[in-house]
Amino acid sequence: MSSSLLIVEDDEVMRLTLQGYFTQKGYAVHGVAKGKVGLEVVKKNEVDVALLDINLPDGSGLDFLPRMRAENEDLVVVVMTAYPDVANAVQAMKDGAFDYIIKPFDLDDMDLTL
C-alpha cells in the first residue's frame, strides 16, 4: 500500500513539481491550492502526510493545521514557507507539525523528511 500525500500549495509550479516528484516516488498524491479544499481532502480521504504552505489565498496554513489534525490525529504535517518566522515555526510545532521547512528546498531533502 502506498502512502497518501496531500500538498496544499497555491503556487501552481511548486504544487505540480511536488505532485510529479512524489507520484514517481509511489505516493498517492492530492494537490490543492487552498486550505479549505485541503481540509475537505483530509475529511474525505485517508491521508498520511500533508505538505502545508503557510501563505494560502484563503488564510494561513497555521489556521488549517490544527483543524486538519483534529480530523486525523495521525496526520503528519510538514509546514512549508518562503517567509521564515520564528513565531510561526513555534506555533506550527505547538499545533502538531512534524517539521517546518523553508522554501526553496531540495526535493531529495523533502523526500528524506517524509
Distances, alpha carbon 16 to alpha carbons 30, 50, 72, 82, 90, in Å: 10, 15, 25, 17, 28
Task: From 43, 13, 54, 7, select the one nearest 27 (Cα to Cα).
Answer: 7
Question: How much is the pTM?
Answer: 0.96
Q: What is the pLDDT of residues 58-97, one digit of tens each?
A: 999 999 999 999 999 999 999 999 999 999 999 999 999 9
pLDDT at 1: 52
